[in-house]
Amino acid sequence: MPPRLASLLPRWCFALLAITSALGIPGLAGAQATDATEVVQARLAVPMTAVAPSDQVPVAVVLTIAPGWHIWPSEASLELVKERTGSFDGAIPTSVHWGPLPAGATVGSMQWPDVHYAKADIGDGPKDYPVYEGTAIAFLPLTLPADFAGTDATLTLSATLSFQACDATSCLPPTDLELTLTVPIGKGGEPSPEEPLFADFDPASLANPQASSASDVDADLEFNFFGAQFSVGTTGVSFLGLLLVAALGGFLLNLTPCVLPVIPLKVMGLAQSASNRRHALFLAAVMSAGVVAFWLALATLLASVQDFKQANQLFQYPAFTIGVGVFIAVMAIGMAGFFSIGLPSWIHSIETKNETAVGAFVFGILTAILSTPCTAPLMGAAAGWAVKTESASTIYAVFGSIGAGMAAPYLLLSAFPQLVSRVPRAGQSSEVVKQVMGILLLAAAAYFIGAGINQLLPRPSHLYWWVVASIGAFAGVWLVVRTLRIAKSRRHRFLFTTVGVAIGVISITGGAWLAKGDRINWVSYTHDAAERALHRGDVVVIDFTADWCINCKTLEKVVLETDLVSGLLNSDGVMPLKADIGRDDQAKERLRDEGFVTIPLLVVIAPNGEVEMKATDYTPQQVADAIERALASASVVATP
């Protein structure tokens, strides 16, 4: 394999080759053309012949695995046995994705079967690797609502089972099985022939459900806007209000650090066309279509791709993050005009002096792409709720509203050209503004490239922030130098020199600020660490973050690392957990469990399990108050 090609393959590909070879599965290379459905049979079962409203119904996923074959366990099973077993990146864990459940039903956490072990040595000594084999049964605790009526007098359950089967000589490709079960509705259901399968089911989970997937979808959606709390209905006419909130969240995306560098460039482009209102409206509409098209494409991935569960999931792949950085860098060079290099013609079409339909559409897509690492207030909760419904029409409606809200300012500016009439349209001043914006866009490119490279490092580094800061500072210096050369009036000299100095100072101080170490004694998030802390009686604070999330970094510095909050986070009885979704699958899973698909997100949990705070935007006082409430409840619980 050519070295360059090998370097582009995901690390888990090589890990999978290694583990399958070590287990006697030379596998991916020597896999036989056996159909996985021939070696793994699966079905759903319940222990009664009929169900009624309010019934507690354990649902079994029964796996029958042919002799000599095994499948990899679920992520939850792997977590429970991680101290004993070897770990590797190549396992395709078994998972069950449930179809729509009855509205108002409550469900508990999946109960997974015990694992068996296969011994292997993949270079660091022999270790036990967990597997499922023989008959393996997982259980879903389900309680039907009191008003459950069913469809055609039946309860219909559906699920998608995902797994990978291996034997002593080969591994089959990952496989999905669609499972369905129909149960009659009626009083006095007798035990069914399937009842013996439920001998290992823990009935305690029916009385203490851990989640409420169906009722959560139908309940009013709670929003927290920097301390201002309100709720919006999610059904009927109220759904229109939710779409308006999603659109407002999309509008606010334009004010995030990710998008701000491109707005002056677009405003200048609109100013170029201000004298022709029809043309300006046309270009703004095309750009808006590009913005909305990207968000609808994202909705398509979330609605149709089973493993795509987060709006910013693409940035969890270093190659994508670096690729976006390179793409932005090429555009920035073309816009700044510093280098005479042969760029593709479509790049030049995006320049403000060459306003074209293709350029406007691509510029809209670029603007939307830039927004995805940042989450605007209000948007995260709406997007998370939409994905949780598992309804394609709802996902499209909410994400289309986010895109429409983000595109709205550009349509507004084109409809009222007098708003941009004072923006310079040509001449040296216009070129200087474009150059400065191009340099700032180059700083954004350095940020994406640095964040992508950082994901490939065994330990995260903050050094790339100095590169970003240096480019930003150069933009400020360039504005000062060019202003002093071309500005005629003292007022313009003072104004733009002040702006240039401010850009330089903010860049350097911001880079130093972001590059320095944390003031908080963070512990990497794991399910086990959170459970142990709650069991000890600690308050758990989970900060969902990623290297590429600039909003996350900003909130960490301006909120969490303030004296007020950091003192509490570092105090006894508080466990601060950093959940990096760019590095850890358990962090991604917990984010989904919290009902969100975007970051940042901060969750404060009291020892009794009560969530004192769950917010994507927050103030120091808000966080401090939530931790204080959680600590107070902990002391009450500890008092006899």
Answer yes or no: is 356 within a domain: yes
Mean pLDDT of 334-353: 53
Asked whether residue 423 falls in the same domain as residue 407, the answer is yes
Specify the pLDDT at position 406: 87
AA letter at 175: T
Q: Which of 415, 440, 457 is the last residue of a domain?
A: 457
Asked whether residue 448 falls in the same domain as residue 533, the answer is no
Asked whether residue 291 falls in the same domain as residue 406, the answer is yes
Confirm if 543 and 556 have CB atoms less than 8 A apart. Answer: yes
The stretches of 26-136 forming alpha helices (DSSP H) are 36-39, 75-80
Question: What is the percent of the chain where pLDDT is above 90?
Answer: 10
Asked whether residue 381 falls in the same domain as residue 422, the answer is yes
Asked whether residue 205 falls in the same domain as residue 244, the answer is no
Confirm if 206 and 588 have CB atoms less than 8 A apart. Answer: no
CA atoms of 600 and 586, how far apart (whole Å)? 16
Q: Which of 215, 238, 260 is the last residue of a domain?
A: 215
CA atoms of 382 and 222, how far apart (whole Å)? 9
Answer yes or no: is 430 within a domain: yes
Asked whether residue 126 falls in the same domain as residue 13, the answer is yes
Per the DSSP assignment, residues forming a β-bridge with 94 are none
AA letter at 620: P
Answer yes or no: is 479 within a domain: no
Asked whether residue 552 falls in the same domain as residue 444, the answer is no
Asked whether residue 373 falls in the same domain as residue 441, the answer is yes
What's 98's domain CATH number? 2.60.40.1250
CA atoms of 530 and 60, how far apart (whole Å)? 28
Asked whether residue 451 falls in the same domain as residue 597, the answer is no
Residues 6+ apart with CB under 8 A from 140: 58, 59, 61, 96, 98, 107, 108, 110, 111
CA atoms of 250 and 407, how far apart (whole Å)? 8
Which range is most confident: 169-178, 233-242, 345-354, 502-511?
Answer: 502-511
Asked if pLDDT for residue 575 goes beyond 90, the answer is: yes
Which pLDDT tens digit goes with each residue over 127-145?
A: 777 889 899 999 998 888 8
CA atoms of 272 and 275, how far apart (whole Å)? 8
Exposed e or buried b per residue across 213-226, where buried means at least 16 C-beta atoms within 10 angstroms of its C-beta: bbbebeeebebbbe
Cα within 13 Å of Cα(437), Cβ side:
22
Asked whether residue 438 falls in the same domain as residue 560, the answer is no
Answer yes or no: is 505 within a domain: no
Asked whether residue 162 falls in the same domain as residue 15, the answer is yes
Asked whether residue 72 falls in the same domain as residue 161, the answer is yes
The whole domain housing 38 covers 3-215
Segments of 437-592 assigned E as strands: 523-524, 539-545, 574-580
Q: Which two tokens stand for residue 328?
A: 């932005």
Which pLDDT tens digit goes with each residue over 383-440?
A: 777 776 667 788 888 888 988 988 888 777 777 665 555 544 545 666 777 788 778 8
**Helix (H/G/I), strand (E/B), else coil: 127:** strand
Which pLDDT tens digit goes with each residue over 271-284?
A: 565 556 677 778 88
Answer yes or no: is 43 within a domain: yes
β 574-580/523-524 pair status: parallel
CA atoms of 544 and 534, how far apart (whole Å)? 18
pTM: 0.54
How many domains is the chain partitioned into structurally? 3
Q: Which of 198, 215, 232 is the last residue of a domain?
A: 215
